[in-house]
A and B are shown apart, each in its own frame.
Chain A
Amino acid sequence: MNLLNVFEQINTVDPEFSDRISPRREAIKNLASVSKKITMAALPFFVSELFKKAYGATAPTDVNGVLNYALTLEYLEAEYYTMGVAKSGLIPSGKPLGAITTIRDHEVAHVNFLKQVLGNKAVSKPTFDFTAGGTFGNVFSNYDTFLAVAQAFEDTGVRAYKGQAGILLGNRVVLTAALQIHSVEARHASHIRQMRRARGGAAADQKPWITGANDTGIGAVVNPIYAGEDNVKQAGVDITSLSGSMGKISASAATQSFDEPLSAEAVLNIAGLFIKA
């Protein structure tokens, strides 16, 4: 596919990239059996430690690395929504099904876009386990679980793209495209959060924006996805020390008004929970 000669000029391939990800998959396979034996609360920490030992620096270091990293996340989201929409009776018809279908179409478009950009450098789609080894066992039979995992994916996606922007510094084509995907993920996250709010229950206080670290009502299992979102310091400025409309800006507003990045390692740890092989 020769649609984008231009990218071959811009990008130098990371020859070790595929070497780096294939051992990772092997380790994830091993992990799946172990993780069932440990408690839910300890799971993220455990996984994170194991991944650190197993992979060291798997974070992307160049443009193609970032694009393949993005592609992996988009594969995850695209397959998730495709399966959700296909599962009859899962998503209520009307507005909810319409919204999830819109999101599915965007994620599929992102996959196709990134694959075209990468050409033969594109990584192949992993095999996913959306139950995360049984943690979300009813993900395709319980609508609330489906929305909760969707929110986790969207908020992760927003953080993931942000974390890689520096590698694309000054790159008019790729950085702009990455930003254009990033803000679409944020629009999705906003809408899914509204859908969960409308469902009530544990999600009744959900806002379209993120308040503090883990405002999801999902539980500690998603702590790694929101770790650091309670940051109130930007470029050395404590946002809560600034003047608001009345008095200082509140800690809630300070955390809501800036979305935080997530390192590639942290994102891969999270995505790894849902990757079988």
Chain B
Amino acid sequence: MEKITTSQNQDSLLTSNGEHEKKDLRRRDFLKFAGASAASLAILGISSCKKDRDDGMDNGGKGLYFGSGDIAILNYAYALEQLEAAFYIQLVNNPYSGMTDMEKAFFTDIRDHEIAHREFFKIALGGKAISSLEFNLSGVNFSSRANVLATAKTFEDLGVSAYNGAGWLIKDPNYLLLAGKIVSVEARHAAWIRDMIDNGSFANQEVVDSNGLDVAKSPSVVLSAAAPFIKSKIDVSDLPTY
């Protein structure tokens, strides 16, 4: 695991939220309680900043600017929904051989859900929306059921953890409610895809801890996980994270 590093960028992220320090103290107590798995996620969150910088992702002013505060979080969600929509569009257009009728129908449903999410964020953000991102899905073997399902699982679990982890950063209760309306649909997707891989794995120990809690990840952790799939340069320097 990488060591904690400091940088100008990381400093600005940390001070972008005035309440950060106060809340951080509470959080540490909570992590003690919630156990080691959550704590190790937090460490990943810090180390990932270094990775982001190396990838040139959030280097300030040079990529698609997400904005700050709630707008940045909405653009963050918009970016993830764009990625999911792009993936499912390609999946439905290139069905692997032996795709069952049910699989075809449900993948089409999911595609339409992700398009609905994507288009909703685009309209809701209006002039503050980032433009359409370009993605790199060349690593996905769309003719392989196993590979498609594994990728879908990664995206859906990541989406759930992204909304769960960003919820408390949202200032406007209406935006929080919208995130809540979407995240449970992503969780329904995640569960179905997991069951297609292995019936009964809808909420196994990979994603649910001993307190019965799902995964929550900070925006910087989520973006480093998504980075290999995002071709466009993005500027998330003012995106709230922790």
By the criterion CB–CB under 8 Å, are A259 and B181 in contact?
yes
* Chain B hits for A98, CB < 8 A: 200
Interface hit among A29-37, A51-59, A240-248: A240-248
The reply to whether B202 and A106 form a contact with Cβ atoms under 8 Å apart is no
Selected from B89, B109, B202, the residue in CB contact (under 8 A) with A207 is: B109
Query: Is A162 interfacial (CB-CB < 8 Å)?
Result: yes
**Contact present for B212 and A106 (CB under 8 Å):** yes
A13 at the B interface (CB under 8 A): no
Count of A interface residues, CB-CB < 8 Å: 68
B193-219 interface with A by 8 A CB criterion: 195, 199-200, 202-204, 207-208, 210-216
Report the minimum CB–CB distance from A164 to chain B (whole Å). 10
Residue in A158, A169, A180 whose Cβ sees the most chain B Cβ within 10 Å: A180
The answer, among A173, A182, A208, for a CB contact under 8 Å with B30, is: A173
By a CB distance below 8 angstroms, the chain A residues around B124 are 234-235, 237
Complex Cα gap A102–B202 (Å):
10
Contact of A183 among B26, B106, B164, B192 (CB under 8 A): B164
Among B112, B114, B123, B203, point to the contact of A250 (Cβ < 8 A). B112
Determine if B167 and A258 form an interchain contact, defined as CB atoms under 8 angstroms apart. no
Residue of chain B at shortest CB distance from A108: B212
Other-chain contact of B112, A4, A112, A245 (Cβ < 8 Å)? A245
Residue in B113, B170, B208 whose CB lies within 8 Å of A257 = B113
Q: A235 to B19, alpha carbons, bound, how many Å? A: 28
Contact of B177 with A179 in the complex, beta carbons under 8 Å? no
User: A130 near B: Cβ within 8 Å?
Assistant: no
Residues of A within 8 A of B186 (CB): 183
In the assembled complex, B103 has its CB within 8 A of some CB on chain A: no
Q: Are A162's CB and B29's CB within 8 A?
A: no
A-contacting residues, B79-135, CB 8 Å: 89, 92, 106, 109, 111-117, 119-120, 123-124
Pick the contact of A209: B109, B199, B214, B215 (CB < 8 A): B109
Whether B174 is near chain A, meaning CB under 8 Å from some CB there, is yes
What is the chain B residue whose CB lies nearest that of A111?
A: B212
Q: Are A257 and B188 in contact, with the CB atoms below 8 A?
A: no
Q: Is the CB of A102 within 8 A of B200?
A: yes
**Complex Cα spacing A104 to B86, Å:** 36
Q: Are B187 and A183 within 8 A (Cβ)?
A: yes
> B173 within 8 Å of A by Cβ?
yes
Contact (A95, B119) CB under 8 Å given A113-B211, A162-B181, A209-B113: no
Residue B184, interface by CB 8 Å: yes
A-B contact pairs, 18 of them (CB 8 A): A4-B29, A98-B200, A102-B203, A112-B211, A162-B184, A179-B167, A180-B213, A184-B208, A187-B190, A188-B191, A188-B202, A190-B190, A234-B181, A237-B124, A243-B119, A244-B115, A254-B116, A257-B116
Beyond A172-B27, A259-B184, A259-B185: 17 further Cβ-contacts under 8 Å? A103-B203, A105-B212, A162-B184, A170-B171, A181-B213, A181-B214, A182-B180, A184-B213, A184-B214, A185-B184, A187-B214, A194-B192, A239-B116, A242-B115, A253-B112, A257-B113, A259-B188
Top 9 A-B pairs ranked by shortest CB distance?
A: A109-B212, A186-B187, A190-B191, A180-B213, A186-B184, A257-B113, A253-B112, A242-B119, A187-B191
